[in-house]
Structure 1
């Protein structure tokens, strides 16, 4: 059936019955977790492939470790019928690594004022003159020629604009390769509703640039929420973007935006899938909004206790078995399964992007 996504086999079944997720219940937020080596990223890829095969739900995948950059590359051993179907899907990967493929770019001047100010480390209360100048500049943005923002600001007699230009240069923001400056933006790709858009965040020189890229995409999705286009927003290593203790202005806005989508996004068709190794490192106000749970091997008593408290629909007797899971085994609970189930994940149809560093042998 189209509503059923086959992801593997049931561990408790004598006949190795297929394990399935309910596609129609992906319209809830999902929490996907497992410690390093549990097979979390591989298993997530299995689920995403099935979503692309059996639904028209556009995926926006935040990929900090380049694990999903090969999502469009079919494995030679993939079943032919599924492989042929998957080849028809529109999968776009935008890279942060120079020369790796289509570049990940976004438009600085189209980001919300608060986000641009956060990138420049300008607080509206602590830096009122700077922020107010940015606010008054909003009417001038259309006048900027040749995308020379620094030159435009220096050409104005206002001293504070000169200081803002200096801040752009001193922080290195003006030179970030993230900015489109007339090129195609990642938001243009997303608006065309491909089956999947992979936002490869791992190749930027600094975390600041990577997080600015993530913020630009999340801002765009939220600003266009009234379109009510169903989207699954997949955030791998979610603890990097939605931490309980954000330190920088951009981290604070990222966490605020993700928590906002977790609290209000469902009615607009913005559904989160948060994947991480450490549940305790994800903001509790995002975690508590998840109605679906995928749990792979997790040995930390603290994390298991947190999961038991937050996800009351997951039987404690099954949660307790998590430390003994082997690679690729998982507990699924919540609305996207008929009943809590232990699953052996199936094989990927596409290649996994990231890889471990091998031990050199003599």
Structure 2
């Protein structure tokens, strides 16, 4: 849709009126030499309703800025109901997301200091308050551990709704909190092998012994397995015992023992479950929790119980550079969920500072994009390639975003939108450390 004029900036919504039809359009690009802008039609306005399924070709037409009434029609027509901030493009007004389009994978990115985690909390509050979609948050930096609290003075329908939600926070070693634990017995045999760092070929005798001891490893707590292995006359069993001891697995606090495992809590489908991964003494224990949860959800995928899996600092679990057996197993499961999980109701929301450090097989499956300040040319070029539905000119503005500003594009927003995020209703768990002053 070509039209002339310098009054409109890329990313603006406009009204196109040819005297017969009034239509809403998005201006997507501009030729700086000629001043010509191009865009796409979103829908036609008739009888006080915006029909996004209808558009009309035209020749000459008058183009004018969209008004707040037309924006309301657009939100109503698309079902955009989750208010997450203010629209930075004239005429302003609220910026809203489509709750039903979180049934697609979402990619959320922004460099350090962009306000990425705070803004993600704003969106999660809206999802938890105004949908029945259970949320599981993999939280490596304890940023969401206070999601079940409300800030003093928080009021309004969203705050009232959050007060009624069942939000569980599982933490490794925090007094008074429900423990964050995994159950070794419940993990699939290949995941057990990954935790034990067993390769089917390089460690073929020990791996074969594990296969033949499958029943033992499915009914005996890991703390009680060692004596059985030591008392065996089989050399491979003795080597398995040494492996358990050398890896220090028996001393890991991650094992459930008499406590409930995270998988059991998630199975109850609370409105939100926060897994505080940051409190473990070793990174491998974080991976064990992630692997146990992802395995359980995938193994029960045919139940088709919808769930939004939020992976904060996704490069910790999804990087192509991760090479430990457990890390590889976690990444491969996430790739599988990204490729096939959507039809089973397993939907990802991946948040990271560095898109280039997330496996491309996962990014390529995302239909929603939230982009905050990002200065890396490599990352911006990659985002423009993966997310063709986001106007390149808007992605290019990312290095100049201020803290708390974001570009939303894809199926979960009526049209690509530049947003100033709202304030949080709940406290952020982790905050920047200030510089000491004399």
Common fold: TM-score over 0.5: yes
- Residue 88 of structure 1 corresponds to 164
1:143 and 1:79 mapped to 2: Cα distance? 50
1:313 and 1:81 mapped to 2: Cα distance? 33
- Equivalent pair of 1:3/1:54 in contact (CA under 8 Å): no
- Residue 151 of structure 1 corresponds to 227
* Bigger shift: residues 1-10 or 187-196: 1-10
- Residue 272 of structure 1 corresponds to 348
Give CA-to-partner distance per residue, 1:134-192, whole Å, 9 cap, x none.
11111234553795121232233322212212211111111100000222110110000
- Equivalent pair of 2:179/2:259 in contact (CA under 8 Å): no
Gaps in structure 1 of 5+ consecutive residues: none
1:82 and 1:331 mapped to 2: Cα distance? 23
Are the structure 2 counterparts of residues 137 and 301 from structure 1 closer, same or farther at C-alpha, using a change threshold of 3 Å?
Answer: same
- Residue 34 of structure 2 corresponds to none
Over 6 Å off, 4+ runs: none
2:206 and 2:341 mapped to 1: Cα distance? 32
2:410 and 2:375 mapped to 1: Cα distance? 21
- Residue 393 of structure 2 corresponds to 317
Select the structure of larger CA radius of gyration: 2
Counterpart pick for 2:195 among 110, 119, 127:
119
- Residue 7 of structure 1 corresponds to 84
Counterpart pick for 1:60 among 125, 133, 136:
136
Gaps in structure 2 of 5+ consecutive residues: 1-75
- Residue 339 of structure 1 corresponds to 415
Report how many residues are paired. 361
1:196 and 1:274 mapped to 2: Cα distance? 16
Are the structure 2 counterparts of residues 149 and 326 from structure 1 closer, same or farther at C-alpha, using a change threshold of 3 Å?
Answer: same
- Residue 177 of structure 2 corresponds to 101
Higher relative contact order (CA 8 A, sep 6+): 1
Give CA-to-partner distance per residue, 1:288-326, whole Å, 9 cap, x none.
000000000000111000000111000001001100000
Following superposition, the deviation at residue 98 of structure 1 comes to 4.2
Give CA-to-partner distance per residue, 1:13-38, whole Å, 9 cap, x none.
33x31100000100000000000000
Are the structure 2 counterparts of residues 156 and 144 from structure 1 closer, same or farther at C-alpha, using a change threshold of 3 Å?
Answer: farther
5 Å-filtered alignment, 1:178-193, equals 178-193=254-269
1:120 and 1:22 mapped to 2: Cα distance? 43
Instruction: Please give the root-mean-square deviation of Cα atoms over the aligned residues, in Å.
Output: 1.5
- Residue 209 of structure 1 corresponds to 285
1:143 and 1:316 mapped to 2: Cα distance? 55
1:261 and 1:284 mapped to 2: Cα distance? 14
- Equivalent pair of 2:372/2:398 in contact (CA under 8 Å): yes
**SS of residue matched to 2:84:** strand
2:286 and 2:156 mapped to 1: Cα distance? 37
TM-score by length of 2: 0.80
- The answer to whether structure 1 residue 170 and structure 2 residue 259 are counterparts is no
- Equivalent pair of 2:184/2:221 in contact (CA under 8 Å): no
Give CA-to-partner distance per residue, 1:57-79, whole Å, 9 cap, x none.
00010000000000001011311
1:271 and 1:49 mapped to 2: Cα distance? 17
Counterpart pick for 1:249 among 302, 325, 331:
325
